[in-house]
Structure 1
């Protein structure tokens, strides 16, 4: 199983089909195959050896996709970097991975020069933007044009394909090692589960450095389809791309979906080409989904659940379960069933499988599971037990095999000896019509150990009191789960590079001076 085989097949069966569209550039699959082979040759000429890590710090672009294929074609291992990181975080990851080559675009050429001074092993900077190339960097198009195409290095199977650093929401990020098999199997699985057709047109709106979008590189390429790329997500930019390029599918994590739904451009945009929206990466409330059903009446929705360690999808909730009534109703809050390429168990602290309906940690096994954490054998041993990856997510499986997520294990609130899962509280809060979004955290309490605290952002012009919102929650969930305190904010929540709410940042003011972050 080789990542490069996907590209060869696409160029073979659809040589003149459009492979990528980015701003005013587009290329066919045969053109892309040629550029990938030459970029691989250029990287080898710069010293890339089998297994060497080549990093990329860039907004979304067509060159991001070329990088994905060229690095592994030439025998290396890709290392896309989080675009939200500061220079010290970038330097840590580059040093940890031992990367000697870094490719950057216009947005990150400044930070790259700063990072290079901090990382002794970083030898080469390549500029892949469209502005003026800094003196200390090579130009992407120039080295590609000067290079000869090389034969595929032939790496595949369990060979390292890339290192993907987790978001780093707690402590230093860990480098997840993924193989060629992970991407090959994950791509086939996604293409099937997402009902993709030959020649599928897909919009990359989510950040490409994140594995949630990156796996679509494989899926779309398997279908010899078209990658439509926008530099970064904005609600209006996403809608404009849908109208201009007419994709059938896209991925929007919940915060992105909610922003699109709230855009004043939605009603006037031609979204008739869109047939499916996938979502995942963080919990979504029923209220947001119902709003999406109403505003995208001709679009099917499908939920994906997983993590980087699972390359990345473990479950899908199919489109036919996104209903409010009928025989398939009642599964809307489920993360879905296991994909056809993995097994799932819900286990206790001793990794013993729990009965259906009991909450425990979700464990996953199959050819999608990571090789381990780079340079972290102890963390690898803690996470992979007898071939099962412990996800760190709490949830349960019902009698029909559907997985329901409750929370991240580390985000669980223990109040008065009772476990409270913040996602459940957020879902209850989100059903109030005045609420745009919320984040629920545990804060110190002398009486309860931890107290449930909600931070709420209201819809523009909407009003509700804390007391009224608490009363609303009491009608939906048990009293001990309801927020004991509520604060209202108008500024957006801090987000990770993958657009997940950084609850660690929200907790900090409440836990300052505490020796532990839980009670």
Structure 2
């Protein structure tokens, strides 16, 4: 039984030192080697003054270094801050500065982002690659002894700070402790069909809960994890062929890419035990094609960063027509409630089966709270431990959860959360825009696409291309509007609030729900 993240490599490194832990490109790293590598990195961090509770940010694509750093910090009692490398430099600055990270480990590809914000940070910067001023990660670690610092952390000690977008437009740091990971990671081995003989594919970005949580689930069981640097359908097929992958997690857009990739029929998928999917909508035809090609091995999950990832699952056997729009049942250790939001009563009364309300959940997976944000914590986490998800849905008579809409305005595009307020705030700084609303509209590939509805400033005639280009220098690519509509005025209620439902409705007409 593991009690914290560090135990994963400490125990497997001691008991199964020669078992394969990671395969990254042509490099194979055993559990014994991963234990030693993370010990050296821990000593390097300690020499830089990193101790219990200190934060370290990591900005890089998937690779062995992510695991070196994550387990090193766990052994020190320090806190990992995985940064979404898709963010623009000012967005990275907010995450790094808000977390108070004293060290930033950055990949060569993203050095320019850090150079742009260096003067605004109070942190040591280490580069996975080369730099004329900053130390390289390899040299920074070399020479330190492979000695475990031996710090033992408790259930409620903070271990990861994962940033998720907020309705105010600024990302919030979700505080996750050992107990969160122990509950989730220790529980999903059965539902996700993991054991020590599994060969898992880690292809989703590790800064995401979907990426890191999935990789941990395999490592927890002592499985081999094949790490891909990027989401590349051809590389996925090659990995399945070369390494006989048994377990993988993909977002729906990647499943669709995979089904359309040349050479798909030449790959042997008979060893696959499960394909877990979630994080964004999936079209029925894509799912049907997937089941026809891969078999009834799909498992849909629903969750959020604040719940350490998935809390419900629709198993392969439940992928039948009348249940395909459900996201399954909660795990045995998770409780789900549907709370009535229709009236003035805000006491948290349960809605009847089949009646739409807000989805609430409680389990040991629930976050400790938001970093340095007590107001947001109080608005999301009830005193008795329930998380208000902000999603609207209902439970049927058999306990299956169906999502209906979002109580908040979040857009989920290709598995990435986009909050309209953040995009609107950027667009409103353009001199040719008088008013703007950002909504999510259906998209056959990404589930939802970002659309801006713009009122041009008097005497101006902005173009769609110009506005998207303006936003591109200020926002991550996945947050950019994919299209822009121009209108004379935005619909508002008597108090002046924009009626986004009225803007969304024409795009969603004829669909059974407005959420993935």
Tell me what 1:368 maps to. Answer: 365
Structure 2 residue runs without a partner (length 5+): 421-436, 447-467, 491-495, 501-516
Check the 8 A contact 1:16/1:28 in 2, yes or no. Answer: yes
Equivalent pairs counted in the alignment come to 439
- Aligned Cα RMSD in Å? 3.0
Partners of 1:456 and 1:8 in 2: how far apart?
45
Tell me what 1:344 maps to. Answer: 336
1:91 has 2:88 as partner: no
Structure 1 residue 411, shift from structure 2 partner:
4.0
Partners of 2:443 and 2:187 in 1: how far apart?
37
Tell me what 1:128 maps to. Answer: 128
Secondary structure in structure 1 of the residue aligned to 2:110: helix
Alignment of 1:211-290 (within 5 A): 211-290=209-288
1:43 has 2:35 as partner: no
Check the 8 A contact 1:54/1:99 in 2, yes or no. Answer: yes
Partners of 2:487 and 2:304 in 1: how far apart?
27
Check the 8 A contact 1:3/1:156 in 2, yes or no. Answer: no
Q: Deviations over 1:263-287 (max 9, x none)?
A: 2232233333323110011122222
Structure 1 residues 288 and 160, CA gap change in structure 2 (3 angstroms):
same
Check the 8 A contact 1:341/1:368 in 2, yes or no. Answer: no
Structure 1 residues 458 and 92, CA gap change in structure 2 (3 angstroms):
closer
Structure 1 residues 101 and 501, CA gap change in structure 2 (3 angstroms):
closer
Structure 1 residue 219, shift from structure 2 partner:
1.3
Partners of 1:456 and 1:338 in 2: how far apart?
28
Q: Deviations over 1:196-227 (max 9, x none)?
A: 12231100111111011211232112211111
Check the 8 A contact 1:4/1:152 in 2, yes or no. Answer: no
Q: TM-score, normalised by structure 1?
A: 0.79
Q: TM-score, normalised by structure 2?
A: 0.79
Structure 1 residue 110, shift from structure 2 partner:
1.9
Structure 1 residues 160 and 510, CA gap change in structure 2 (3 angstroms):
farther
Structure 1 residues 510 and 516, CA gap change in structure 2 (3 angstroms):
farther
Secondary structure in structure 2 of the residue aligned to 1:410: coil
Structure 1 residues 346 and 86, CA gap change in structure 2 (3 angstroms):
same
Deviates more, 1:375-384 or 1:285-294: 285-294
Check the 8 A contact 2:195/2:218 in 1, yes or no. Answer: no
1:33 has 2:35 as partner: yes
Check the 8 A contact 2:253/2:445 in 1, yes or no. Answer: no
Check the 8 A contact 1:393/1:409 in 2, yes or no. Answer: yes
Partners of 2:46 and 2:377 in 1: how far apart?
31
Secondary structure in structure 2 of the residue aligned to 1:396: strand
Partners of 2:165 and 2:158 in 1: how far apart?
20
Structure 1 residue 312, shift from structure 2 partner:
1.1
Partners of 2:486 and 2:154 in 1: how far apart?
48
Q: Deviations over 1:79-121 (max 9, x none)?
A: 00011100000001111111110111122122122222222x2
Structure 1 residues 458 and 200, CA gap change in structure 2 (3 angstroms):
closer
Tell me what 1:419 maps to. Answer: none
Structure 1 residues 511 and 113, CA gap change in structure 2 (3 angstroms):
farther
Check the 8 A contact 2:256/2:445 in 1, yes or no. Answer: no
1:300 has 2:302 as partner: no
Alignment partner of 2:201 out of 185, 200, 203: 203
Deviates more, 1:51-60 or 1:346-355: 346-355
Structure 1 residues 507 and 363, CA gap change in structure 2 (3 angstroms):
farther
Partners of 1:458 and 1:247 in 2: how far apart?
25
Check the 8 A contact 1:35/1:144 in 2, yes or no. Answer: no
